[in-house]
Structure 1
Amino acid sequence: MRKRLGALALAASMVVGLIGAAHAATEVKMTGDARVYGNFFENRNYTGWNKTGTKTEDTFEIWERFRLRTDFVANEAVKFRFGVKVEDTWGYGTFTAANPSAAVQVDLAYLQFKVPGCDGVEVTAGLQDVNLPQSGLFYNSPVWSDKMAALTIKAPLIDKTLGVLVGFGRLIDTNRTFDTTTTQRADELDAYFLALPVTLEGFKATPWAMVSVAGRNADYTWKDTTDVAEWGNNFANTLVSAASARNMTTTGATGYWKNSQNPYYWIGGAFEVTALDPVKFYADVIYGAGAQNDHKAAKREGWMIDFGAEYTGLDVLTPQVFAFWSTGEDKSTRNGSERMPYMRSQWGPGNSFLFDSSQELGKGSNMYTDPVGNYGIGASLNNISFIEKLTNRLTFVYVRGNNNARAIRDARAYYNSSYFAMGKDLTTNEYVMALNLDTKYMIYENLAAVMETGWAHGEFQESVWGHRLVHQADSNGNNAWKVAFGLTYKF
């Protein structure tokens, strides 16, 4: 124990020394946030099991996350940001009492500077937040919204009217410097993206596009080990068709591709209309496609659109209504997939309990329903405030499937049993709905007490998912419940 404390003290003194040395030449600024909350969640995935029905849930856990961002500012034109994160449950990993394991993650690491002589041109290189454009009512992009090791350039083209964002990111490089044999292997996943935000009086539009080059031998089966959805963040399910995913492995995700590389592309637009303020309108249109020149069964393409409106003329609440629609699978898996490909989605209106989106108490926060392949409607009473420092939000969403039952059944039987999941992907005969009530009380300016509650109900086809999963959901009334309470602090 003495050796461990001594090593910790030495490491701390070195960090302080480095910051002191850096401060002599640069300005050091620190910001961050922390959240600690208890989470009661019953009947995850409507069954109380994981998505494949092989594990049983624990209904209560306590999560803690701490993030620290440090900016090393040379001057107003140059800085480097370094961010770290610790996130886990009490009693596990870092927060184990007897023998804690180190779990500090590098969350951000990028250099940012303004180009000399080019007014407003900003370059960012390194691990950074990249969010494809999305209208404000729907939080973030269903295609990509996450950290990315990237080079991005932002510049104004017409002052206060037209700008440009262009970037390149490398998402995966499975073998890094050397491939596994003397034959070169296509083991990378790269992305090139462009956005042109247009701002006029009472109107904002952002057309955008992204092209991703996917190598046949890249590892698309990775997963975030701290993600309670387990394989929810898995490109093998979100990017490729069911036929392509059938043979993917961590050592060489060859799948069902004849080409060594396949391009994927997305074209979209995000729109916001405030000309009729206090009535505001929001909409997004996205088309995505990939592997179009490969085997017929390897192709994947589809659409997603959303639309919403809100009324901001009331002091005590903001009513919102919204809807979305996305193409789903037809009855055959041999002709490819008719669902829009995507990679990292954080889309969701009204902080809905169904979608992985804007929840403040993030881990174990929702049902992970996939907006792609489904359609739905909903309403929210946002920013409800009758008492000073206390705000509430009440949201209801109904979602129905656009996927043919035969396609999901065949994909699970012949290709990959975990490619689709009950409650996440819905057939045309299935639906889910959810109600959530969220509350925040500002104890101090930067300290809040937050409570998020959610209820979800679904109806599922036994002929698609099998008797075991559907019967288990039926035994729970096809209901899921969540109550999370905790503290959030920002500094």
Structure 2
Amino acid sequence: MKKFGCLALTASLLFGAAAVAGAATEVKMTGDARVYGNFFSARNFTGWNKAGTKTEDSFEIWERFRLRSDFIANEGVKFRLGIKVEDTWGHGTFTAANPETSIQVDLAYLQFKVPGCQDIEVTAGLQDVNLPQSGLFFGSPVWSDKMAALTIKAPLIDNTLSIMTGFGRLIDTNRTYDNTTTQVADELDAYFLALPVTLEGFKATPWGMVAVAGRNANYGFKDTTDTVDTGNSFANTLVSAGSSANMTSNYGTGRWKNGQNPYYWVGGAFEVTALDPVRFYADVIYGAGATGDTKGAKREGWMVDGGAEYTGLDMVTPQVFAFWSTGEDKSTSNGSERMPYMRSTWGPGNSFLFDDSQELGKGSNMYVSPVGNYGIGASLNKMSFLQDLSHRLTFVYLRGNNSARAIRYARNTFANDYFTMGHDLTTNEYLMGLNFDTKYMIYENLAAVMETGWAHGQFQESVWGHRLVHQASENGNNAWKVALGLTYKF
């Protein structure tokens, strides 16, 4: 009994201390949930994964729950912890018997304002980092994702000029100790800077980022939290074809002579509202990397986009847009002529072709790369004819800027998935996509959402092979998606 009494006394003291500490800290919780059924026919135009080794299930039910808790000490200091559960019904967490519970840390950062300089905000930890992009195109094609980083935001001229700068570590493959007593460069670090300038009727944001890429970092990894086959590994998006092909067990770049290679991007995002209700948007980005390494290791290229919208109508906002990006030339031995990138959420009008702003996220689009392609499109956005009911209709047509010879040689010689059909296009190929999306607000925070999409393509058999192209033609070179679900925010 004496033992139990001591335990009870200890527990009461601990809970009492926690209550006193908790009294000084305010906790606020926000979050969101979504549950939806997703019917997808002919993913990748074949009904297979990108490599053509697995067949699709055309119907699945996804569920995601995110909770974000702010622990606020005072107006100047807080810590945010975000957790996420996401999977399909019947798999992992949502299995009826013996579920494999998987809770992911989605955000974890400390944020404070500098004493005496309350306008300067410092954030350290796992946080959202989004490089600047004009509003019509949703997110950056270079980086728009979570990053373990230290960022600083501060005004330089009130209501006119501010600064956002930071450092992030994207990869540290071996963490504390390398595998042997020989030290290797197994990190990928990024340094970034943006200077938003806001004037009456005009906003411009010049920005830049430098990444230092170690030869022995794990660039070949797939995002293990993403069960959808996006092919979005750094091996595909950051390095050249020859370097990607020579990775050993997904670790290191076999064709790099340097232990570390710098990558850099410079760009500008522009928005003009001086002629409101007509608004204009544009972005210019140049990126390059490994330029001081072997000739076949370098990668560099451009991407530009532009668009306009008319906001003077109550029932609809018409939008038009276009983009262009450099593509591969006829040789892979001289490196890559496509702009390197890392985590893209770029896309206009919620387009079904790109991984961008879909509310019903996983399995939601065709994961087409904007890099190496060019296209035009139009959208009827914010259509609303009844209260609480809105629609969006978007059409995009795009073609490839990549030489068929280069892609054919890379696939035949390297035998990897660096280039994939429907994701990368040659100059002889095209894609078009149409999506019609609807949202009905049941309550202030609860919505019923339907997203539909259709994509059609034309592909070269001499590049991708008879098997993939024939399978796509069996489906009429078409892909279809219908997703219907509920979203809740609190």
Deviations 1:424-450 (A, max 9, x none): 000000000000000000000000000
Deviations 1:156-214 (A, max 9, x none): 00000000011000000000000001010000000000000000000000000000000
SS in 1 for 2:296: helix
Displacement of 1:102 in angstroms is 1.6
Q: Which residue does 2:406 correspond to in 1?
A: 407
Change (3 A) 1:20 1:447: farther
Query: Do residues 212 (structure 1) and 211 (structure 2) align?
Result: yes
Query: Do residues 349 (structure 1) and 348 (structure 2) align?
Result: yes
Matches within 5 A, 1:114-263: 114-230=113-229, 232-250=231-249, 252-263=251-262
Deviations 1:190-241 (A, max 9, x none): 0000000000000000000000000000001111234354252200000000
Matches within 5 A, 1:270-285: 270-285=269-284
Q: Which residue does 2:38 correspond to in 1?
A: 39
Q: Which residue does 1:12 correspond to in 2?
A: none
SS in 2 for 1:406: helix
Contact 1:205 1:272 in 2 (8 A): yes
Deviations 1:65-113 (A, max 9, x none): 0000000000000000000000000000000011101210000000000
Deviations 1:114-162 (A, max 9, x none): 0011240000000000000000000000000000000000000000000
Distance 1:250 1:33 in 2: 38
SS in 1 for 2:405: helix
Displacement of 1:471 in angstroms is 0.1
Q: Which residue does 2:103 correspond to in 1?
A: 104
Q: Which amino acid aligns with 2:258?
A: N
Displacement of 1:247 in angstroms is 1.8
SS in 2 for 1:413: helix
**Structure 1: gaps of 5 or more residues:** 1-15
Distance 2:411 2:226 in 1: 23
Write out the 4+ residue segments of structure 1 that deviate beyond 6 Å after TM superposition.
16-19
Distance 2:18 2:362 in 1: 32
Q: Number of residues paired by the alignment?
A: 476
Change (3 A) 1:28 1:265: same
Contact 2:289 2:299 in 1 (8 A): yes
Displacement of 1:320 in angstroms is 0.2
Change (3 A) 1:18 1:295: farther
Change (3 A) 1:163 1:257: same
The alignment's TM-score, normalised by the length of structure 2, stands at 0.96
Displacement of 1:24 in angstroms is 1.3
Distance 2:92 2:416 in 1: 30
SS in 2 for 1:50: coil
Q: Which residue does 1:438 correspond to in 2?
A: 437
Displacement of 1:363 in angstroms is 0.2
Change (3 A) 1:462 1:19: farther
Query: Do residues 290 (structure 1) and 280 (structure 2) align?
Result: no
Displacement of 1:21 in angstroms is 5.9
Displacement of 1:413 in angstroms is 1.2
Displacement of 1:359 in angstroms is 0.1
Q: Which amino acid aligns with 2:307?
A: G
Deviations 1:249-291 (A, max 9, x none): 3463132100000000000000000000000000000000000
Contact 2:68 2:82 in 1 (8 A): yes
SS in 2 for 1:45: helix
Contact 1:380 1:393 in 2 (8 A): yes
Contact 2:400 2:424 in 1 (8 A): yes
Q: Which amino acid aligns with 2:70?
A: D
Matches within 5 A, 1:258-269: 258-269=257-268
Contact 1:220 1:250 in 2 (8 A): no
Deviation larger for 218-227 or 448-457 = 218-227
Q: Which residue does 1:8 correspond to in 2?
A: none
Distance 1:464 1:43 in 2: 20
Change (3 A) 1:250 1:130: farther
Distance 1:326 1:175 in 2: 35
Q: Which amino acid aligns with 1:54?
A: T
Distance 1:482 1:18 in 2: 54
Q: Which amino acid aligns with 1:89?
A: T
Change (3 A) 1:374 1:211: same
Name the % identity. 80
SS in 2 for 1:359: coil
Change (3 A) 1:146 1:187: same
Contact 1:79 1:111 in 2 (8 A): yes
Deviation larger for 111-120 or 279-288 = 111-120
Q: Which residue does 1:474 correspond to in 2?
A: 473
CA RMSD of aligned residues (A): 1.3
Deviations 1:41-83 (A, max 9, x none): 0000000000000000000000000000000000000000000
Distance 2:382 2:49 in 1: 34
Displacement of 1:18 in angstroms is 10
Contact 1:115 1:123 in 2 (8 A): yes
Contact 1:450 1:485 in 2 (8 A): yes
The alignment's TM-score, normalised by the length of structure 1, stands at 0.95
Distance 2:109 2:95 in 1: 31
Distance 2:312 2:396 in 1: 23
Query: Do residues 398 (structure 1) and 397 (structure 2) align?
Result: yes
SS in 1 for 2:377: strand
Change (3 A) 1:445 1:418: same
Change (3 A) 1:400 1:229: farther
Q: Which residue does 1:6 correspond to in 2?
A: none
SS in 2 for 1:329: coil
Q: Which amino acid aligns with 1:376?
A: G
